[in-house]
C-alpha cells in the first residue's frame, strides 16, 4: 500500500498553500530589504513545499467531509496545521536541536538559508497559521474560528507539540532503561499525536459536525496519531531509507523509540491495536468515513 485513496483532491491543499505563500520576487537590483523579504519567503516555501505527505491537512478535509461539511470551510485549518507542522520541522532540525542537515532528501532549512533565517522562517510560519485561522473570509463563522484557534494553539504549544519536543530533547542524554513505555507513549502523544488529533477534531469543527461527531473524530485522531508514530519508529528500523528519505536513523541519534522499548514485535502489535481502536472509534459513521478508515490502515502499512 503506497498511496492513500483520498476523497478530496490533494491539489486543493497545494493550491490553498500556494495562495497563502506565493513567491516573492527579487533580484540583484532590488533593495536590500526587498531581497530579505524574498529570502525569508523562500525559506518559508522551502519548509512548506518540501514533499511532505500532507497527512495533517488532508485529514482536516476528510474529517470535515465525514461530518457532511463543505471542503471549502476546512481549507483554513488544513493550511494552518500544515504551516505549524512545517515550522516544527524547521526548528527541530536546527543545530541546537536534532542538528539535521537534510530533510526528505533536500537540505534542511537552515542548511539552505542559514540558521538565523530558518529560525525566523519557522516563527513566521507559526504566526501565519493563526493569521490564516482568523482570516476574514466569506462564510467565516467567528465562534468556530475562535474555537479552532484555541484547539490548535493548545495542541501545538507547551501542553502538546512543543512540550513533547522538549521532553524528547531532554531524553537525548537519558538511558533508555530510565524511560518507561507509558512515558514514551505520553511523549509521542504530545510531540506528534497532539497535532494529528487536532487535525481530525479541527476538520469536524470546521465541517460543522455535532459535538458527538467532534468527540468521535477526536478519539479517532488520538488513536491514529499513536499508530502513525509507532509506525514511524518501525519504518526507522525496517524501512527502506530510499523511500523514507531519512539520512540517519533515530537509533544513531540516540532517540528513544517504540521499537527500543517494546521490541519489534511489541511495537508492531501496538501499531495494529491503535489502528483497530481508530477504526472502532468510527463505528457510528457510514461510508462517508471510508477515507478516514483507509487512512488508519495506511499509516500502519505505509512504506515512507
Site residues (vs a copy of itself, CB under 8 A): 31-33, 35-37, 39-41, 44, 87, 91, 94, 96-97, 114-117, 119-120, 122-124, 126-128, 130-131, 133-136, 140, 142-143, 145-147, 149-150, 153-154, 156-158, 162-163, 165-167, 169-171, 174, 178-179, 183, 186-187
Q: Which residues are bridge partners to 120 per DSSP? A: none
Nearer to a copy of itself, 105 or 114 (CB): 114
∠ at Cα 18 (14, 22), nearest 5°? 165
Cβ of residue 207: shortest distance to a copy of itself, in angstroms?
18
Cβ of residue 204: shortest distance to a copy of itself, in angstroms?
17
3-state secondary structure of 229: helix
CA distances from 144 to 74, 139, 140, 205, 228 (A): 11, 11, 8, 7, 28
Nearer to a copy of itself, 70 or 150 (CB): 150
Nearer to a copy of itself, 79 or 128 (CB): 128
Cβ of residue 128: shortest distance to a copy of itself, in angstroms?
6
Determine the Cα–Cα distance for residues 282 and 63; give it in Å rounded to an integer: 11
Are 300 and 272 a contacting pair, CB within 8 Å? Answer: yes
Nearer to a copy of itself, 139 or 283 (CB): 139
Nearer to a copy of itself, 169 or 237 (CB): 169
Q: Which residues of 194-212 are buried (b: 16+ CB within 10 A; e: fewer)?
A: bbbbbbbbbbbbbbbbeee
DSSP code for 264 = H
Cβ of residue 237: shortest distance to a copy of itself, in angstroms?
23
Nearer to a copy of itself, 117 or 302 (CB): 117
**Could you tell me the three cell numbers for 266?**
511489541
Cβ of residue 265: shortest distance to a copy of itself, in angstroms?
26
Pairing of strands 106-107, 102-103: antiparallel
Nearer to a copy of itself, 136 or 265 (CB): 136
Residue 293: name the closest of 282, 277, 304 by CA. Answer: 282
Cβ of residue 91: shortest distance to a copy of itself, in angstroms?
6
Cβ of residue 302: shortest distance to a copy of itself, in angstroms?
28
Determine the Cα–Cα distance for residues 57 and 76; give it in Å rounded to an integer: 9
Residue 61: name the closest of 73, 49, 44 by CA. Answer: 73
Residue 206: name the closest of 68, 16, 74, 57 by CA. Answer: 74
Amino acid at each position: 500500500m503506497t498511496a492513500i485513496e483520498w476523497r478530496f483532491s490533494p491539489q486543493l491543499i497545494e493550491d490553498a498553500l500556494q495562495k497563502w505563500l506565493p513567491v516573492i520576487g527579487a533580484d540583484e537590483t532590488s533593495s536590500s530589504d526587498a531581497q530579505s523579504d524574498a529570502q525569508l519567503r523562500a525559506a518559508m516555501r522551502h519548509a512548506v513545499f518540501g514533499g511532505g505527505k500532507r497527512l495533517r491537512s488532508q485529514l482536516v478535509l476528510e474529517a470535515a467531509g465525514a461530518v457532511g461539511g463543505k471542503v471549502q470551510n476546512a481549507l483554513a485549518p488544513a493550511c494552518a496545521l500544515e504551516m505549524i507542522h512545517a515550522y516544527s520541522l524547521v526548528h527541530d532540525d536546527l543545530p541546537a536541536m536534532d542538528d539535521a542537515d537534510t530533510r526528505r532528501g533536500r537540505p534542511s532549512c537552515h542548511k539552505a538559508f542559514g540558521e538565523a533565517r530558518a529560525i525566523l522562517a519557522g516563527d513566521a510560519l507559526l504566526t501565519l497559521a493563526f493569521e490564516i485561522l482568523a482570516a476574514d473570509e466569506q462564510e467565516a463563522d467567528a465562534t468556530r474560528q475562535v474555537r479552532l484557534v484555541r484547539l490548535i494553539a493548545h495542541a501545538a504549544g507547551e501542553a502538546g507539540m512543543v512540550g513533547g519536543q522538549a521532553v524528547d530533547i531532554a531524553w537525548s542524554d537519558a538511558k533508555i532503561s530510565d524511560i518507561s513505555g507509558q512515558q514514551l507513549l505520553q511523549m509521542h502523544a504530545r510531540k506528534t499525536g497532539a497535532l494529528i488529533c487536532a487535525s481530525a477534531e479541527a476538520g469536524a469543527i470546521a465541517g460543522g459536525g455535532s459535538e458527538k461527531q467532534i468527540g468521535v473524530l477526536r478519539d479517532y485522531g488520538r488513536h491514529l496519531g499513536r499508530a502513525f508514530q509507532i509506525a514511524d519508529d518501525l519504518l526507522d528500523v525496517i524501512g527502506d531509507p530510499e523511500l523514507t528519505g531519512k539520512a540517519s536513523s533515530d537509533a544513531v541519534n540516540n532517540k528513544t523509540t517504540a521499537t527500543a522499548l517494546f521490541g519489534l514485535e511489541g511495537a508492531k502489535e501496538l501499531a495494529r491495536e491503535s489502528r483497530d481502536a481508530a477504526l472502532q472509534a468510527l463505528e457510528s459513521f457510514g461510508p462517508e468515513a471510508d477515507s478516514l478508515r483507509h487512512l488508519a490502515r495506511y499509516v500502519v502499512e505505509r512504506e515512507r
